[in-house]
Amino acid sequence: MTASDAYAYRRVQMVEALGRHGIDDPRVLDAMRRVPRDLFVPEAYHNAAYSEDVSINIGEGQTISQPRVVASMTQAARIRPDDRVLEIGTGSGYQAAVLAHLARFVFSIERIASLARQAKATLDRLGLENVSVKVMDGTLGWRSFAPFDAILVTAAAPEIPEPLVDQLADGGRLVVPVGTRETQVIRVVQKRGERTTVSELQGACFVPLIGRHGWAGEDS
């Protein structure tokens, strides 16, 4: 068995485990099955790539979230085939790759240029042409392409960033971890006209969301 075959087998096992832990959207499970997570982590961590509850350091003080968290947030966003999705925090590009198999187009923002370049290279390697990556302050959103049917934030905010709520389409969903720098709760914001409702998904532990409507950086 080649390394590629071994990773494919472990990916199937990961998806089966996700199904046993409450991920029941077949489109989300199929997307997770199709994306080779090992390509999005440093080579030294390839053997841990398909552990469903393991986050991995990708450099620059950032991590790739556990597959179970990626799947849970993606399922909560209820992505439809014609949706335009905004992701805040490209990181390795793995979440964007999963979203690319579900949505019409994915706009992804990363504040660290080196991570954005590496993520775009991996996405291009996989032939995912429906993802655009830009380096800027993600807490401001991407107003020139708004409104978005769904927004996923892969870093922890001290409160729900208002610019992201403003950039939701009518009926849009925002999934964002909110809390302290150490612990958070993933919240799901649903927009209906001028009204929004907020529900809680699960506890989480993400890196801080740095930006004007997030946490201040260490050099601020």
Catalytically active residues, by annotation: 65
HSE-up (13 A, CA, CB side) for residue 120: 14
DSSP string, 14-74: HHHHHHHTT---HHHHHHHHHS-GGGGS-GGGGGGTT-TT--EEEETTEEEPPHHHHHHHH
Closest to 179 in 3D by CA, of 155, 145, 147, 149: 155
Contact 36, 43 (CB under 8 A): no
Q: Which residues pair with 132 in a beta bridge?
A: 107
- Residue ranges of alpha helices (H) inside 67-181 are 67-77, 94-100, 113-125, 162-166
- Please count the helices (runs of H) and the strands (runs of E) in the chain: 6, 9
3-class DSSP state for residue 120? helix
CA distance 185 to 180: 9
Pairing of strands 168-179, 184-192: antiparallel
